[in-house]
């Protein structure tokens, strides 16, 4: 990194000069993809940045951004950074308390909100946010009648910016350097309020360029941004890597249309959590059940050929000419059309992270020719520290460290990392910073080890490796991830700390399990009704039995219940990145857990759930306790 391109704003200026009218990003609006060039991208950022400066935003300040993935987000982020401020992303589905905490804790001067829903959240608690100078909104629909002295539209902010001397923008951008604070990324907070990880431009660009050495992106690549930009993983791709490499970022029309929009774009690079890849696999399995006999025959005939080729590659063996010819036939009759249907026909770089991905999902994508890889990292190391290389895919590992990153295992079994991508520290939390950066290494909090091949294996959070009453160690997350490899299981929470045996709270996947039930003419009305069906219990028991066979006898699940509702971030049961808040879940469902360790065969439930819009619903159910 040279001083002329060591910040995001400097890279944007460089790309605008280098690429000019070439497309920097697209957004689908009213069914039409609207392109924006690098030159227009820079102009948009300049106007917003000067508008922020006119409001009093300057070097060292913070600008909070709240909303879905939209071009306005990345423009606002770069505009704040161009003014010398740091951006702070907030998940669009965060509740009022979460939003208030982050905005107040980070000392934001300005909040940029996507639409009426997000503006309502801010205005409802504006009295609790005395540091705020302005609330800026992008989408004006529903806001015409709103009158508040702090409220203004993004267009009005840009108009203010156009009245400011443009030279001020150039001066401010040149004054930035790689050590400046780029963003504060709030971690998911499984045990309480999240901590604000401070990341510099150097941190983020070191990670982006190091990753690019082993998983190359090109200027001509297309990328679809559909994960929350408040998450470090999406920041890593849509902003840091996109600016460093110069590829095109595409924004779906709505989160619900992401899969369809991915197919329209046909990206070369795609990054998604395990659930995304699992959903694609489940969709194929469901559609094969409903398709014509001929198409089902072709699927059943050629998929084994794909699986065989994938296994040969995983084992490092070259396929014979006969197998290569069979695979070519499979490509003609199945794989080409299937990849096109999924929107991955041009995919060259595919990766997943955040949790373990099931071996069957890996095999499926490699069988059809998608080079899916597992990555591992955390917010505090700017997103990534390890990735699978080439065909060296081992389902139980997360690959090897990327260039410039050292990883070792401590005496207690904790994964430690060292890299120029390691963060500055936690905002306003020196004690936590000292703990996590003790002895010059980043302490991940994860337990792991290196395999004989030198690949990193992640077991669980160190604090979550627990013991049964007899002293037997077990990893709840390890078992939960294997349960979630099933297409019928959406979430699972394994219980057992200090208890005589393991039990599980299981949430079914409504869509996949619903299709399974419909194919067998099992009628149901609601999620609660479906999850209570004896046939569904039998289905999930088979899945748990399969997982139990792979576990030591003492670490097997002995009882389970199917919950009457899905675990939800709005109910504080999950973080915004869908990690289980274990202590909270065990407290909320303590009556059900007590029954799992008692003699009860059924549990009567009469409770009220609260939806995101504030409405409530009463749920009455009779949960069966199933013994294995």
The helix (run of H) or strand (run of E) holding residue 400 is: strand 400-401
Determine the pLDDT at residue 569. Answer: 76
The helix (run of H) or strand (run of E) holding residue 531 is: helix 527-531
User: DSSP readout, 55-116?
Assistant: TT--TT-EEEEEESS-HHHHHHHHHHHHTT-EEEEEETT--HHHHHHHHHHTT-SEEEE-SH
* Structure tokens that stand for 461 in this block: 């959070």
The helix (run of H) or strand (run of E) holding residue 303 is: helix 293-314
Q: What are phi and psi of 126, to 5 degrees?
A: -60, -30
Which has the closest alpha carbon to 8: 333, 219, 238?
238
The full set of domains in the chain, from first to last, is 8-177 (3.40.50.12780), 465-627 (3.30.300.30)
Which has the closest alpha carbon to 72: 54, 95, 89, 96?
89
Q: Rounded to whole angstroms, how far apart are CA atoms 187 and 208? A: 20
Does the pLDDT value for residue 461 go beyond 60?
yes
Count other Cβ atoms within 10 Å, centred on residue 406: 12
Q: Rounded to whole angstroms, how far apart are CA atoms 456 and 448? A: 7
pLDDT-derived band at 131, boundaries 50, 70, 90: very high
Q: Rounded to whole angstroms, how far apart are CA atoms 383 and 231? A: 9
More confident residue, 275 or 151: 151
* Structure tokens that stand for 326 in this block: 């069979």
pLDDT-derived band at 612, boundaries 50, 70, 90: low
More confident residue, 550 or 310: 310
CA distances from 298 to 295, 305, 600 (A): 5, 11, 48
More confident residue, 153 or 622: 153
User: Between vectors from CA 530 to CA 525 and to CA 535, what angle results, nearest 5°?
Assistant: 130
Does the pLDDT value for residue 252 go beyond 60?
yes
Average pLDDT for 41-66? 96
Average pLDDT for 550-567? 87
Does the pLDDT value for residue 355 go beyond 80?
no
pLDDT-derived band at 619, boundaries 50, 70, 90: confident
Q: Rounded to whole angstroms, how far apart are CA atoms 71 and 61? A: 22
Inter-residue contact 247 to 217 (CB < 8 Å):
yes
- Using one digit for the tens of pLDDT, what is the confidence trace for 231-246? 999 999 999 999 999 9
Determine the pLDDT at residue 432. Answer: 93
pLDDT-derived band at 393, boundaries 50, 70, 90: confident
- Using one digit for the tens of pLDDT, what is the confidence trace for 292-304? 889 989 999 999 9
* Structure tokens that stand for 92 in this block: 């669009």
CA distances from 605 to 98, 449, 504, 624 (A): 29, 42, 17, 11
Inter-residue contact 76 to 65 (CB < 8 Å):
yes
* Structure tokens that stand for 466 in this block: 């627990």
Does the pLDDT value for residue 616 go beyond 70?
no
pLDDT-derived band at 359, boundaries 50, 70, 90: confident
Inter-residue contact 230 to 89 (CB < 8 Å):
yes
Q: Rounded to whole angstroms, how far apart are CA atoms 114 and 118? A: 6
Whose structure tokens read 């529903």?
142
- 148-162, 185-199, 435-449: segment of lowest average pLDDT: 185-199
Percent of the chain with pLDDT over 70: 97
Determine the pLDDT at residue 604. Answer: 84
Q: What are phi and psi of 607, to 5 degrees?
A: -140, 170
pLDDT-derived band at 611, boundaries 50, 70, 90: low
Determine the pLDDT at residue 141. Answer: 92
Give the side-chain half-sphere CA count within 13 A for 261.
25
């Amino acid at each position: 990194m040279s001083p002329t391109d060591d910040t995001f704003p400097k890279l944007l200026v460089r790309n605008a000069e280098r690429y000019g009218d070439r497309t920097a990003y697209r957004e689908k609006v009213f069914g039409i993809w609207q392109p924006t060039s690098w030159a227009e991208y820079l102009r948009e950022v300049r106007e917003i940045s000067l508008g922020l400066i006119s409001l009093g935003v300057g070097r060292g300040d913070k600008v909070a951004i709240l909303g879905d993935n939209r071009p306005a987000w990345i423009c606002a982020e770069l505009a704040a950074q161009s003014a010398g401020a740091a951006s702070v992303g907030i998940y669009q589905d965060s509740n009022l308390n979460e939003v208030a905490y982050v905005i107040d804790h980070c000392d934001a001067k300005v909040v940029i909100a996507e639409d009426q829903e997000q503006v309502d959240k801010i205005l409802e608690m504006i009295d609790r946010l005395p540091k705020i100078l302005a609330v800026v909104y992008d989408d004006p629909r529903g806001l015409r009648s709103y009158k508040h002295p702090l409220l203004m539209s993004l267009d009005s902010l840009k108009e203010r910016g156009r009245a400011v001397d443009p030279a001020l923008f150039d001066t401010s951008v040149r004054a930035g350097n790689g050590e400046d604070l780029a963003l504060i990324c709030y971690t998911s907070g499984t045990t309480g309020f999240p901590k604000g990880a401070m990341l510099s431009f150097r941190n983020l660009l070191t990670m982006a360029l190091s990753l690019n050495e082993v998983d190359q992106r090109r200027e001509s690549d297309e990328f679809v941004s559909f994960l929350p930009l408040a998450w470090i993983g999406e920041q890593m791709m849509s902003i840091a890597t996109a600016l460093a490499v110069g590829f095109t970022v595409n924004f779906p029309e709505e989160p619900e249309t992401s899969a369809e929009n991915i197919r329209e774009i046909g990206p070369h690079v795609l990054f998604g959590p395990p659930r995304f890849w699992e959903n694609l696999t489940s969709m194929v399995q469901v559609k094969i059940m409903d398709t014509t006999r001929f198409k089902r025959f072709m699927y059943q005939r050629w998929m084994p050929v794909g699986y065989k080729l994938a296994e040969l590659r995983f084992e490092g063996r070259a396929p014979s000419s006969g197998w290569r010819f069979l695979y070519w036939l499979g490509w003609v009759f199945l794989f080409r059309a299937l990849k096109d249907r999924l929107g991955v026909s041009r995919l060259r770089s595919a990766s997943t992270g955040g949790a373990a991905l099931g071996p069957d999902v890996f095999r499926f994508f490699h069988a059809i020719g998608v080079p899916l890889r597992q990555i591992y990292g955390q917010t505090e190391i700017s997103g990534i520290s390890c990735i699978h290389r080439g065909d060296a895919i081992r389902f139980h590992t997360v690959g090897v460290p990327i260039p410039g990153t050292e990883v070792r295992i401590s005496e207690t079994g904790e994964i430690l990392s060292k890299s120029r991508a390691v963060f500055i520290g936690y905002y306003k939390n020196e004690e936590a910073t000292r703990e996590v950066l003790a002895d010059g290494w980043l302490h991940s909090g994860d337990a792991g080890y290196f395999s004989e091949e030198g690949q990193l294996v992640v077991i669980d959070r160190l604090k979550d490796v627990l013991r049964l009453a007899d002293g037997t160690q077990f990893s709840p997350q390890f078992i939960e991830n294997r349960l979630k490899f099933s297409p019928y299981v959406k979430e699972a929470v394994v219980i057992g700390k200090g208890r005589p045996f393991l039990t599980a709270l299981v949430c079914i996947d409504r869509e996949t399990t619903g299709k399974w039930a419909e194919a067998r003419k099992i009628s149901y009305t609601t999620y609660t009704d479906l999850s209570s069906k004896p046939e569904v219990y039998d289905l999930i028991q088979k899945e748990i039995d399969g997982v139990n066979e792979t576990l030591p006898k003492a670490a097997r699940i002995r009882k389970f219940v199917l919950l009457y509702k899905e675990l939800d971030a709005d109910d504080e049961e999950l973080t915004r990145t869908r990690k289980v808040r274990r202590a909270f879940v065990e407290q909320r469902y303590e009556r059900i857990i007590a029954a799992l360790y008692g003699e009860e065969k059924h549990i009567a439930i009469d409770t009220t759930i609260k939806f995101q819009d504030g409405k409530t619903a009463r749920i009455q159910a009779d949960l069966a306790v199933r013994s294995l």
